[in-house]
Structure 1
Amino acid sequence: MRAREISSLALDSYQRAARVALSNHLVTATYPDRIALPLLRRWATELREDLLELFGYRLEVTETTARLFPVIDRLDDSQPARTSTDRIFDRRRYAYLSLALAALGRAGNQITLSELADHVAVEASQVDGVELTTDRASDRDAFVDAIGWLATRGAIALADGDATGWAHNPSAGEALYDIDRPVIVAMFRPPRAVQHLRSVRGLLAGPDAPIDSDEADPERPDPERPVDPKETLRAVRRALVEQPVVYLDDLDSDGKAALAASRTVGEVELLTGLTAERRSEGVALIDSSGRLSDYRFPSTGTIAQVALLIAGEISDRVIDPDAPKLPTYPLPDADALIEQLDTAIPDGGIFGDLAEFGLSSEPRTVDRNPARQQYPLIEDSWLASVVDDLVERFGRTFAAQWQTDKNGLRLRALALLHRLRLVHSVSGGVLVLPVIARYRDVMVSVRDRTPQDSLFGTEQPASTEQTASTEFPEAEAQ
């Protein structure tokens, strides 16, 4: 591991470079900032070796881009594309993004927004269920969101005009973009041609990947194919940096042994500069730098504050000896989601003679943990009553939009807890995951701030301004 050879004075710089590469799989001259690419170029040789050795990731660094090619072990919906206003991309925006990227790959050095929209509209007309009509404001807004996503990452740069003006009135507004071809080329590099796949399993490399042997028993690992210890270690290390927390129940016996080994976690700590927090249920990397995590928690803002309060209430409910016993269920199997996605793949775009990993071969995952862990279920009705109570007690400190939208507040807060793997959302409620006990006994303080009506505060205030803050103890997970 090359990180062991780096001097203590330079180690912090190297660890920052590793965090940049792991948190931004594409780095350009301007994205995520102007110092990221020079930092990666400085440590390119060492990072290339360590990322491959520890995770199996491939790093390509050029003069204008750095591209990390990760190994995907399982489907993950926690990092969707987002607009400049933090709105999650819908299907239409993803479609426009893909078609725009294809059109830019065939364009010259510059292109106008209206010209790009025309190209995308033509391509969209050939795809069932996709349409771009520039006369429709909702289509223009979605298209501009997709173009903005590309511009943020440096694939295109605004040379003249204004995309917002075009979105409001395409006959009066226009925008001209410079195209950065190296970024376009680096941006979309799938591990397999999607036209050769009939199942999303073909994009996975971990436990959800298809079984190679047609004669292998799908209910247990093939004894003729021993598990590669090196790949098991890589999979565990990947989970440490890609997931908020790695539960032992997520792993098979080999994975549990790898996670328990101090060297496995220690190598990730050395590379990233993060600190591992071990509990009886698993391991989480604590990112006090804020440079690897995509979301801080606990954090400021109504959604984060309410999520923390809900986490405390859920923790208290689970261990309440006087309350009725909660029903328990295992986490949903990923196979159901994979089958739903597979049935939605249009057959018209598949090259039949080259297609692999299809539904006809019935690829299935190996159940590496047949005795599946059961988790308490908290029902939506109970959660709704908790949010009602929180709004009643602290609503005056919440953002105005959430004071009257209790249901929306609950859904957004639970979505955040799901994203952080504190709960798992299911139909009718949430399954409570062990690490949520870290936020047990949350304490709330409402501070009254007296506004000053004069420079020296000699006049009596007419009202008080109230704000809420939350604190949490370092509680042991149960």
Structure 2
Amino acid sequence: MALANHLVTRDYPDRIALPLLRRWATELREDLLELFGYRLEVTETTARVYPVIDSLDPSQPARTASDRIFDRRRYAYLALAMAALGRAGNQITLSELADHVAAEAGQVDGVELEADRASDRDAFVDAVGWLAARGAISLADGDASGWASNPSSGEALYDIERSVVVALFRPPRAVQHLRSVTGLLVGSDSPVDEDSDDDAARPTDPKETLRKVRRALVERPVVYFEDLDQDGRTALAADRTVADVELLTGLVSERRAEGVTLIDTAGRMSDVRFPSTGTIAQVALLLAGEISDRVVDPDADALAHHALAHHAIVADDDLVTRLDAAIPGGGIFDDLAEFGSPTGPVPDTGTPPATYPFVENSWLAHTVADLVERFGRTFAAQWQADPDGLRERAVQMLHRLRLVHIMSGGVLVLPVIARYRDVMVSVRDRVPQDSLFDSRSTDTEIEAQ
């Protein structure tokens, strides 16, 4: 529970989580620190895991109550709202909070909150809803949707849970001291050294190498040997490394020549369940099976192969560049400012990079269109009318699960996708419902496993 939800409150993710964590706080605190280097703080109202961030991960963005990914505006409102709540009293109305955020937003280039603009109100309510879901604020009276519809007549009053607000944002470094987001990848106990060459030449700590590999096992869907330097590969290959994580989490490991994945059969520790219900997850599973079959099809044309490492490095560098460009320069204390330094594995220059099959977007589009034709009656109407959007979302899910890697023109097929090669599909049609009390329905279901 603590690894799946780095913040646990009285109501988030449910009412039984916090009492359980408090009961086992001492043992968990020791285990998390020893195995992962994570710090656990437990109070009467919160349990907060402070992780060590080894690399930027764009696969777990903040989401609205309707599962929409936060955009830049929503992230800005969220940050400004947390700052305003930290200075507020025990209660605050939604309009008062909006006024505080609007005043602060006016001091940041490119950010503004106009209560007269419906899109701004919707984005602000999404940010407030994210805070409410985690227990930072709780609705005492009124309705946020009423304010979003008409701020002159609608209003909402919130109680502020200060301990949760404080626990939500505790970066390892003061963000006003950083010119680059990579500074957040460095532990607060380790100073940022501007001489990156000397930094890389320092001998590695075997215990820290083990912790880094264990962190990867619980933070990533799959850990490939190619992700790691030589020390990390040796640690991942050791049975004890994986066994320690299995013992703590109850997950079961699956080893292949290319890497290791932990299988969460209960779904308690995964932010994305797969296989799962819903059109996108179903199509992603079917597409994974089709891709696996295409890779091993002896009668089809041979697929081109490309190395993953270069494309992954370029993607990481691009993410850092975009995030750094969004840092408000006016909020940095120049006298204390530092540049961050990436802490990723050092590539082995003497080992040729592994290459993976490349599947073009045209083949993916044709395959998804065929799946829509065969199973479309089981899909949500929205996706039946938008096969291109369905393909994009399904491929994004496979990318997030590290089954494929998206690149220009198509995807690289990664080894773990082979576990879905023999996917079995059955379609169940139900006869029309004759009355309100008839258990039969007109729905058609798809089962894939």
Partner of 2:221: 244
Between the aligned partners of 1:46 and 1:430, the Cα distance in structure 2 is 43
Partner of 2:416: 435
Between the aligned partners of 2:196 and 2:92, the Cα distance in structure 1 is 53
- For each residue in 1:291-337, what CA deviation from the matched residue of structure 2 results, as whole angstroms up to 9, or x when unmatched? 10112111111111100111011111111222222222223212333
Partner of 1:356: 338
Partner of 1:232: 209
Partner of 1:466: 444
Kept in 1: contact 2:54–2:344 (CA 8 A): no
Pairing partner for 1:344 from 326, 345, 355:
326
1:196 aligns with 2:174: no
* Offset of residue 343 of structure 1: 3.3
1:82 aligns with 2:82: no
Q: Extract unaligned runs of 5+ from structure 1.
A: 1-19, 472-478
Task: Flag the 1:210–1:357 CA change in 2: closer, same or farther, 3 A.
Answer: farther
Task: Flag the 1:456–1:263 CA change in 2: closer, same or farther, 3 A.
Answer: closer
Write the letter of the residue equivalent to 1:83.
T
* Offset of residue 445 of structure 1: 1.9
1:295-374 correspondence to structure 2 within 5 Å = 295-331=272-308, 332=311, 333=313, 334-357=316-339, 367-370=346-349, 371-374=352-355
SS in 2 for 1:216: helix
Task: Flag the 1:340–1:170 CA change in 2: closer, same or farther, 3 A.
Answer: closer
Kept in 2: contact 1:376–1:432 (CA 8 A): yes
Partner of 2:102: 121
Kept in 2: contact 1:446–1:469 (CA 8 A): yes
Between the aligned partners of 1:414 and 1:160, the Cα distance in structure 2 is 42
Between the aligned partners of 2:104 and 2:72, the Cα distance in structure 1 is 16
SS in 2 for 1:296: coil
Between the aligned partners of 1:310 and 1:401, the Cα distance in structure 2 is 19
Between the aligned partners of 2:70 and 2:24, the Cα distance in structure 1 is 34
Kept in 1: contact 2:402–2:414 (CA 8 A): yes
Task: Flag the 1:398–1:196 CA change in 2: closer, same or farther, 3 A.
Answer: same
Moved more, 55-64 or 282-291: 282-291
- TM-score (normalizing by structure 2): 0.93
Pairing partner for 2:407 from 423, 426, 443:
426
Write the letter of the residue equivalent to 2:401.
L
Superposition RMSD in Å: 2.2
Q: Extract unaligned runs of 5+ from structure 2.
A: none
* Offset of residue 366 of structure 1: 5.8
Between the aligned partners of 2:91 and 2:62, the Cα distance in structure 1 is 25
Task: Flag the 1:211–1:376 CA change in 2: closer, same or farther, 3 A.
Answer: farther
1:27 aligns with 2:8: yes
Task: Flag the 1:467–1:106 CA change in 2: closer, same or farther, 3 A.
Answer: same
Instruction: Say how many residue pairs are matched.
Output: 439
Task: Flag the 1:464–1:175 CA change in 2: closer, same or farther, 3 A.
Answer: closer
Partner of 2:90: 109
SS in 1 for 2:92: strand
Between the aligned partners of 2:117 and 2:448, the Cα distance in structure 1 is 45
Partner of 2:32: 51
1:57-206 correspondence to structure 2 within 5 Å = 57-205=38-186
Between the aligned partners of 1:152 and 1:36, the Cα distance in structure 2 is 15
SS in 2 for 1:292: coil
Partner of 2:271: 294
Write the letter of the residue equivalent to 2:270.
S
Between the aligned partners of 1:379 and 1:397, the Cα distance in structure 2 is 26
* Offset of residue 409 of structure 1: 0.5
Task: Flag the 1:158–1:355 CA change in 2: closer, same or farther, 3 A.
Answer: same
* Offset of residue 118 of structure 1: 0.4
Pairing partner for 1:375 from 347, 350, 356:
356
Between the aligned partners of 1:453 and 1:160, the Cα distance in structure 2 is 43
Between the aligned partners of 1:348 and 1:456, the Cα distance in structure 2 is 64
Between the aligned partners of 1:344 and 1:372, the Cα distance in structure 2 is 33
SS in 2 for 1:40: helix
Between the aligned partners of 1:260 and 1:130, the Cα distance in structure 2 is 48
SS in 1 for 2:114: coil
Write the letter of the residue equivalent to 1:200.
V
Write the letter of the residue equivalent to 2:279.
T
SS in 2 for 1:128: coil
* Offset of residue 82 of structure 1: 0.7
* Offset of residue 119 of structure 1: 0.4
* Offset of residue 415 of structure 1: 1.0
